[in-house]
Amino acid sequence: MAENRLAIAMSPHVHSNESVKKIMYSVVIALLPAFCVSVYFFGLNAIRVTLISIVACMAVEWLIQKFLLKGKTTIFDGSAIVTGMLLAFNVPANLDWWIIVIGAIVAIGIAKMTFGGLGNNPFNPAIVGRVFLLISFPSQMTTWPTPQPIWDIKALDAVTGPTPLGLLNEGQMVDYNYMDMFIGNMGGSLGEMSAIALLIGGIFLLIRKVITWHIPVAVLGTMAAFSAILWGVDPTKYADPLFHILAGGALLGAIYMATDMVTSPMTGKGMLVYGVGIGIITILIRTWGSYPEGMSFAILIMNALVPLINNWCKPKRFGEVVKPPKEEVKK
């Protein structure tokens, strides 16, 4: 009898070669340029904060898997490493180690494992961790060290300075050199300053097809359009669009955090709606809110709306009638 070569299985029949591991390690690679820039500007402190954050995230996930859920170890799928890196990128480089550990416990323990681990969390874990820290430790989380090149001896003294958005929030019109902002020579969280490094990583992710263009373009486009309108109304009071995109966590959030596969909508149309929402809320908070930066809050708010967006923007099914035939009007 001939060998039965007809394999019968449920769809999908064609598998891409992707796995959680591959995607997560791609994100890690994409974050490396920004990490190098922060090491250049903040020195050993950047390495310290990032390592503590990654190790704490992995340890928390391991402990919960081992002792609470009693499931198999998942820490090497890379998602805890990505969460740890993103959390570190979102805090000042001179943060105390125990605050980072609390952030890691909140990010992994509350935002991720409580909901059942990777794939089930409605909110981006790293942003939940950051927002928790920002509300809990307002003074430590908003004391930003001034970036200084690594060979600068004065770097040993901890000099702190304002961020562009912080100054804007206090009502001062800032005259920043856009080249400095583009390279990353401004006050801010560990990994959010360097636009060029973040863009390089973002292009890498686009080529690797880890992210699609929809969310970053929608977020940044909306921010630019909205701030351009405000700037057009009164240029002395509101900052220009380029400033808004280069300052704060706009690029980090738009490219790396809003695009998190688990917490963003599934269809392209949904992603556009989601991105526009993030852009609008960010500028609203930056302009009229009490916090200088609104990116993380905006992403969290839109994360909460993702199930609704998914419901609105369902993909068309094959074989579905595009326009239902007109029902006969009943008398």
Partner 1 sequence: MKEETTMNNWKNFTKGFIKENPVLVMLLGCCPTLGTTTSAINGLSMGLATTFVLVCSNIVISLIKNLIPDKVRIPSYIVVIASFVTVIDLLMQAYLPGIYETLGLFIPLIVVNCIVLGRAEAFASKNGVWASCVDGLGMGLGYALALMILGAVREVLGSLSIFGWQFIQADGILVFVLAPGAFFGLAYFIAVVRRFNK
Give the chain's length: 331
Structure letter (DSSP) for residue 307: H
- 110 lines the binding site for partner 1 (CB under 8 A): yes
- Using DSSP's 3-state secondary structure scheme, residue 26 falls into helix
Q: Which parts of the chain are beta strand (E)? A: 144-145, 160-161
CB 64 to partner 1: min, Å: 13
Candidates 19-27, 117-125, 133-141, 312-320; binding stretch for partner 1 (CB under 8 A): 133-141
CB closer to partner 1 out of 109 and 166? 109
User: How far does Cα 35 stand from its chain's mean position?
Assistant: 15
Candidates 2-10, 28-36, 132-140, 279-287; binding stretch for partner 1 (CB under 8 A): 132-140
CB closer to partner 1 out of 68 and 308? 68
Candidates 75-83, 129-137, 193-201, 255-263; binding stretch for partner 1 (CB under 8 A): 129-137
- 304 lines the binding site for partner 1 (CB under 8 A): no
Binding mask 217-256 for partner 1 (x = CB under 8 A): ----------------------------------------
Given candidates 44, 51, 135, 150, which one binds partner 1 under the rule CB under 8 A?
Answer: 135
Given candidates 136, 160, 172, 177, which one binds partner 1 under the rule CB under 8 A?
Answer: 136
CB 103 to partner 1: min, Å: 11
- Show the 3-state SS of 196-232: HHHHHHHHHHHHCCCCCCHHHHHHHHHHHHHHHHHHH
Q: Are 287 and 148 in contact (CB under 8 A)?
A: no
CB closer to partner 1 out of 135 and 158? 135
CB closer to partner 1 out of 47 and 110? 110
**H/E element, 165:** helix 164-169
Q: How far is CA 138 from CA 95, 99, 198, 249, in A?
A: 12, 12, 26, 17
What contacts 165, CB < 8 A, 6 or more positions away?
Answer: 247, 248, 286, 292, 293
Where in 169-208 is the site for partner 1 (CB under 8 A)? none
CB closer to partner 1 out of 135 and 261? 135
Binding mask 273-292 for partner 1 (x = CB under 8 A): --------------------
What whole-number distance in Å separates Cα of residue 38 and Cα of residue 85? 12
CB 132 to partner 1: min, Å: 6
CB closer to partner 1 out of 20 and 110? 110
**H/E element, 79:** helix 79-89
Candidates 128-136, 180-188, 199-207, 220-228; binding stretch for partner 1 (CB under 8 A): 128-136
Given candidates 62, 115, 137, 182, which one binds partner 1 under the rule CB under 8 A?
Answer: 137
User: How far does Cα 193 stand from its chain's mean position?
Assistant: 14
Where in 73-102 is the site for partner 1 (CB under 8 A)? 102
φ/ψ bin of 119: left (φ > 0), alpha (ψ from -120 to 50), beta (otherwise): left
Candidates 43-51, 130-138, 179-187, 232-240; binding stretch for partner 1 (CB under 8 A): 130-138
CB 154 to partner 1: min, Å: 30
φ/ψ of residue 279, rounded to 5 = -60, -45
Task: Look up residue 230 and give its two tokens.
Answer: 């405000």
Task: Look up residue 96 and give its two tokens.
Answer: 């105390």
Q: Are 176 and 164 in contact (CB under 8 A)?
A: yes
Binding site for partner 1 (CB under 8 A): 102, 110, 132, 135-138
